[in-house]
Amino acid sequence: MRPFHYERPRGLEEAIAGKTEAARFLGGGTNLIDLMKYDVERPASLLDLTRLEGLREVERNGEGALRIGALVTNADAAAHPLVREHHPLLADAILAGATAQLRNMATMGGNLLQRTRCYYFYDRQTPCNKREPGTGCPAKDGVNRIHAILGTSEHCIATHPSDMCVALAALEAVVVVRGPSGERRIRMEDFHRLPGDTPERDTTLDAREVVTAIEIPAGDYGRHHTYLKLRDRLSYAFALVSVAVAMELREGRISRLRVALGGVAHKPWRVKEAEALLEGQAPEEECFGAVADRLLQGARGYGHNDFKIGLARLAIARALHQAAAAAPQSHVAKRIA
């Protein structure tokens, strides 16, 4: 990797002050350091956040919203009693990702900001608009098994690879960030962006902003939720397609439904009209197809990933079934339930 400065800011203010375009915040380093070794990320300096105070708490406020500090590790978040009790969907999604070793290092902030796993993005000897704007997108007619089917552009068809973020989207979380001009709250649906003609930008976070926490509003899904992840082996692989469902059932009818898809777009994919289709309805399997159709409206494949459209349809139906039956997908059992 290229030589860089390593700094340990003593407080948030110092971290923000030190953050230039050429600097990167360092969380667990599980993604950033890899990319530096591959010469994809070339920061002039690393601002190590991991020793900062006050970003490691998990707490619930008066309205029942859960606030998870940006430096809480993925492993700690998934194991935290408040998370397990109030948002098991989040715990499940985190546990569906990576491995125990990686989750022990990975932070909530870093997970939000992890970059795509597009093969070309990682390989500096190939063109890639996300890595080097204007060089082209070889994935479109190349190897694109893991690429997007929704919200793509002619410039980039990459996906956001996070499992955690798919659950956060379904839970309508808010990303709390701090910049030179103070604090800002960004809704999950606005945090990641579609590639458009600037695929080099993954999120709406400003270069000088730092993520300080993730907030999840109160919601009562009981056991009516699931995180279903389909992949090329039963653990330690990114999602081909994943589905997070949070369902509120009242007297046998769906009073509130949130569905987010992973592995299919540059951001966790939600379509509110699709969710509305089932609200007020009994969770009958016959209706699930319509939800899938609406969620996947406009989907297109690029060759190797054509199958994702069909697979997503099947996965959505199964996930809705799991949520309705209060039988969330286990991430310990070596099988899809």
Ligand X SMILES: Cc1cc2nc3c(=O)[nH]c(=O)nc-3n(C[C@H](O)[C@H](O)[C@H](O)COP(=O)(O)OP(=O)(O)OC[C@H]3O[C@@H](n4cnc5c(N)ncnc54)[C@H](O)[C@@H]3O)c2cc1C
Kindly list the residues in this chain that would bind another protein in the complex (CB under 8 A): 1-3, 37, 39, 117, 119-120, 122-126, 138, 141-143, 145-146, 230, 232-238, 240, 304, 306-307, 310-311, 314-315, 317-318, 334-337
Among residues 73 and 305, whose Cβ is nearest to ligand SF4? 305
**Residue 176 sits in the site that holds ligand X (CB under 6 A):** no
Residue 159 is a binding residue for ligand X (CB under 6 A): no
- Residues 234-293 binding ligand X (CB under 6 A) are 238
Q: Which of 116, 144, 159, 162 binds ligand X (CB under 6 A)?
A: 162
90 makes contact with ligand X (CB under 6 A): no
Give the residue with the Cβ less far from ligand SF4, 41 or 92: 41
Catalog residues that contact ligand SF4 under the rule CB under 6 A.
116, 118, 120-121, 128-130, 137-139, 156-158, 199
User: According to the binding rule CB under 6 A, does residue 228 interact with ligand X?
Assistant: no
We find the least distance from the C-beta atom of residue 230 to ligand X, in angstroms, to be: 12
Residues 6 or more apart whose Cβ sits within 8 Å of residue 297: 271
Tell me how many helices (H) and strands (E) the chain has.
Answer: 13, 11
123 binds, among another protein, ligand SF4, ligand X, none (CB under 5 to 8 A by kind): another protein
Residues 226 and 322: beta-carbon distance below 8 Å: yes
CB of 31 to ligand X, least distance (A): 4
CA distances from 7 to 39, 51, 108, 145, 312 (A): 20, 11, 21, 39, 43
Question: Interface with ligand X includes 49 (CB under 6 A)?
Answer: yes
Is residue 98 involved in binding ligand X (CB under 6 A)? yes
Minimum CB distance to another protein, residue 140 (Å): 10
**Lookup: tokens for 324:** 């309705």
- Least gap, CB of 2 to another protein (angstroms): 6
Does residue 219 belong to the site contacting ligand X (CB under 6 A)?
no
- The interface partner of residue 194, options being ligand X, another protein, ligand SF4, none and the CB cut-off 5 to 8 Å by kind, is none
Length of the chain: 337
> Of the two residues 30 and 322, which places its CB atom closer to ligand X in the complex?
30
Angstrom distance (rounded) from CA 244 to CA 258 = 8
Measured CA to CA, the distance from residue 230 to residue 166 in angstroms comes to 13
Region class of 98: left (phi > 0), else alpha (psi between -120 and 50), else beta: left
CB 155, min distance to ligand X, A: 21
Hey, is 197 helix, strand or coil?
coil
- Of 10 and 37, the one with the shorter C-beta distance to another protein is 37
- Helix, strand and coil percent figures for the chain, each rounded to 5: 30, 20, 50
Residue 132, contacted partner among ligand X, another protein, ligand SF4, none, CB below 5-8 A by kind: none
Contacts 24+ apart (CB under 8 A), 232-237: 234/334, 234/335, 235/99, 235/334, 236/98, 236/99
Report in angstroms the alpha-carbon separations of 59 from 52, 82, 188, 268.
Answer: 18, 8, 19, 25
Closest CA to 294 of 261, 328, 262, 326: 261
Picking from 197, 203, 122, the residue whose alpha carbon sits closest to that of residue 168 is 203
Assigned token pair, 181: 């001009």
Closest CA to 227 of 195, 259, 266: 259
Query: Do residues 151 and 269 touch, judged by C-beta distance below 8 A?
Result: yes
Q: How far is the CB of 131 from ligand SF4 (least distance, A)?
A: 6
28 in contact with ligand X (CB under 6 A): yes
Task: Find the binder of ligand X among 87, 111, 247, 271 (CB under 6 A).
Answer: 111
Q: Toward ligand SF4, which CB reaches closer, 137 or 241?
A: 137
Which residues of the chain form contacts with ligand X (CB under 6 A)? 24-32, 34, 49, 70, 74, 97-98, 102, 105-107, 109-111, 113-114, 161-164, 210-211, 238
